[in-house]
Structure 1
Amino acid sequence: MYKIMTAGPTQVRENVRMARSQECTNPDLDQEFFDFYRETCGLLSKALHTENEALILGGEGILGLEAACASLTEPGDRVLVIDNGIFGKGFSDFVRIYGGEPVLFTTDYHRPVEVEALSTYLEKDHDFKYATVVHCDTPSGVLNDVETISKILDTYGIMTVADSVAGMFGEPLNLSDSKIDILCGGSQKALSAPPGLTMLWVSDRAFRAMEARKTPIAGFYANILLFKDYYEQKAFPYTMPISDIKGLRTALDNFFEDQEVYQRHARIADAARKALTAGGIKLYLESGWSNTVTVLEVPEGITDQQLLYGMEKDYNIMISGCFDVLAGKVVRIGHMGENADPQKVSETLAALQGTLEKLGAQVSCDMADVFQQAI
Structure 2
Amino acid sequence: MRKSLPVLFLLLILSPLSSRAPGEIISYELEGTLSPREIEDFNQELFEGYVVPEAKYSVDIYWVKFNSLYPDGTDAPITTQIFIPRYEDRDSRSVYVFGAGSTGLRDSCRPSREHILGIRWGLYRSHVLAHAGQGSIGIFSDYMGFGDPDRLQYYMVAECEARVLLDSIRALKNLLQELKLDTVSYTSHFVAGFSQGGHAAFAAADYRLSYAPDVSLSGIIGYGPTTDIFSLFREYSDVAPMVLYTYSQLYGIENVDPSQILIEKFADNLERDLLRMCVGGMQSYYPHVPQGLFRDEFIASLTEETLERDYPDLFHYVEMNSTGLAGQRIPVAIYQGGNDIVIFPETQTQFVEKLRSMNVPVDYVFYKDARHDTRQISFEKSRTWIENHTK
Q: Same fold (TM over 0.5)?
A: no
TM-score after normalising by structure 1: 0.28
Name the structure, 1 or 2, with higher relative contact order (CA <8 Å, separation 6+). 1
TM-score after normalising by structure 2: 0.27
